[in-house]
Each structure stands twice: as structure tokens, then as C-alpha cells.
Amino acid sequence: MKRTLTLLASVLLLAGSLSFADEAMLIDFTLLDQDCIQDENTGKNTQNKRTVMDFSVAAGATFTEDQKNLMKTSLALPEWEIDLNSSARNVTSIAESKVVAAPVKDSAKVPFAGKNVMGVRVIFPTIAANANAKIVPPFDIPAYEPLADADDNGVRQEPSDEQKASGKTLFEDGYGLVKNVGTVKSIAVTTMGMNYPHGLYVLLKDNDNIERRYFMGYLAFDGWKTLVWNNPQYITEIRQREIRVYPIYPRGLPFVKFCGFQVTRDAAHIGDNYIGYFKDVKIIYDKALLTSDRDIADEDLWGIITKKETARQYAEMQRFGNVQVNRYLEKEKMATEESFSDSLGDGASAQKNQGQAANN
């Protein structure tokens, strides 16, 4: 009987040690299609409805409604930015490096055939210089934004009772955020290699606002592949772990958020164009808490986390809003003419004279 109880206790201990590990989709780029806010000129949608954010709430009264409408943005793939380091920055690389929605052929032998993935183009220098580029979202992904639907104009609606009861926030479930994360055990990136010798890093940020980067490997392969980073300091034996206990509140429920990719080019390798495609990022992690359902709603009572997050989000709104308005004003000042007007009243004569001048 005693042996049976000992065996049962061992089984329960083993089950408990394995129960807190979990796998989650951190970000899935096939979910970031443009499905709201039509462009007046092209009639095409420009933003992603699930992740659209209106930063105009932090704008001043001097801005027009047209300018405020430009402060709506989302994680739609064309909105992502390329941040080049000083060795890689020049007029051509800044102008040509970009992120697009890359459609996968319907005939492709992958589960996401027919969907859009992230397509990236980076212009690296051809000189012998180390260079890197970060592919980053247009804004810092909020950790406490309430889950709510948005309409076709990108206006966020009031959360439904079902959404409130779910306890989830806007950017969970594959949109850049995973909560209740303790130790990260593994990270996986599904990407298409194009035989480039460059290195790939994943950038993550935690609830203490500390950003870390994880080396996934080199992109010197062809076709789709899952690159995996395994935590070399992950201890599987429970008795060998250093048990650390942190106050649960007001530190908040631990989380990780996606901050982007970093592609590094060594000085000894070929420069010029880099083309890459990314489908998703997944993580395997230990749960910080076995259950996040508390008997007392601490945040509703004290509001400490909300106050800190609101201040951080307000600062982000001001920064991003100013950037978008400055881009709008700069676009209004850009020259739109492709050629000179005809002073002679005869387009053919002007074209002929231009050709003669070029020959001379």
C-alpha cells in the first residue's frame, strides 16, 4: 500500500511538472490582411481590422480631420518598417527597403497556400561593412488593449460581454502577444530561405519592458523551413531549478510581445538586395501561473497596472501621431509632376528638342 501511494505521488509530481509547459502562436502574418479603411484614390483597403489603432486621441486640436485619419494604423503588412543601422543607411537603401504582403500560390504545397505572408526587401551595402536591418511593427504592441471589434472605418467598438468574459486582450491569439509566460523554452520561425548567408534574430520584449534578441540561425537554404532556437539554460529537472517567487501584483501577469526581426549581413558576405518571406513565430514556454483567475480583481480595485500602461501608451500615441502627421505634411510638399509643361504649345516639338539636347 505504501509503495502504491509513493508511486501515485511520483506520477502526480511528474504530471504537475509537465502541465505548465505550453505552445502558443506569437504572431501569424497570414492574419494581417488589409480588410478595412479604404483608400480614396485606389479604393483598396489599407489597414487590418483586428489590430487597427487610432492614435489621433493624443493629437492636438490644430490637426484637421484628414490628418487625424492618417493617425489610424495597424499591423497590416505594408505598415511595417525597416530600421537600418548606420552602416546600411543611404538614400537608395532607405527608399527601396520595405515590407509587403506576399501572396503564396494556391498550388504551393504548404498549409498556408493562397494566403499572404510577410515579404521583406532590404538593400545592404556592397562595401565590406557589417550591416543589419530590423523589421519592426509600426507601433509598440500594447499589452493591455481591450479585446473589441472594429468597423470598416477602423473605429473600435465597445467590447461585447463575451469578449469581456474571455479575459483576453486585443493582440493575443497570433497578433503579437502571449501572456502568462514564465521561462521561454523554444522559439520557432517559419521562413523561406533564398540562399542568403545572412543571420536571423527574433526580437522579444517582456513585461519589464526589456528587449532581448534570439539567434535563429542563417538563411543559407532554399525553400520553406522552420528555424528553432532552444534555450540552452532551460533546466528540465525540477529539483535542479532555482525557485524564484515574485509578487504577483502589481508586477502584472508576465508576457512577451513580438518586437520584430533582425537580419545581419557580415562584411565578408555579398551585399545589395536581400529578399525574405516570413509566415509566423511560435514559442514554447513555462506558464508563470497555473491559473490567472483570481478571487479578487486586483486591477479593478487598485488600477496600478492600467495607470502605468496608459502613460506608456499615451507617450507612444504622441510619438506615432507626430510621425504620421509629419509624413502627411511631407507628402503634401512632394512634387507630383513627371515632366515639364509644353511652352511651345506643341508636345511633339518639345519632345523632339529634348531628344536633340540629350544627343548633344
Judged by average pLDDT, the poorest of 51-55, 217-221, 324-328 is 324-328
Residue 6 has pLDDT above 50, yes or no: no
pLDDT digits (tens, 9 = 90+) for 209-265: 899 999 999 999 999 999 999 998 876 656 556 556 667 677 667 899 999 999 999
Mode of pairing for the β-strands spanning 131-136 and 199-206: unpaired
Separation of alpha carbons 333 and 68, rounded Å: 18
DSSP-based three-state secondary structure for 284: strand
Alpha carbon of residue 80 to chain centroid: 7
Q: Looking at residue 243, what is its pLDDT?
A: 59
Q: Residue 252 has what pLDDT? A: 67
Which of helix, strand or coil describes residue 190? strand
Q: Where are the beta strands (DSSP E) in 19-155?
A: 21-28, 36-38, 45-47, 53-54, 72-73, 81-84, 98-103, 116-124, 131-136
Instruction: For residues 183-205, give the mean pLDDT.
Output: 95
Q: What is the pLDDT of residues 290-316, one digit of tens each?
A: 665 667 777 778 888 778 777 776 776
Name the most confidently modeled range: 12-16, 120-124, 246-250: 120-124
3-state helix, strand, coil in the chain (%, to 5): 25, 30, 40
Burial class (CB in 10 A: 0-12, 13-18, 19+), 52: buried
165-177 pLDDT tens trace? 888 889 999 999 9
Residue 90 has pLDDT above 50, yes or no: yes
Q: How far apart are the first and last CA of the chain?
A: 106
3-class secondary structure, 249: coil
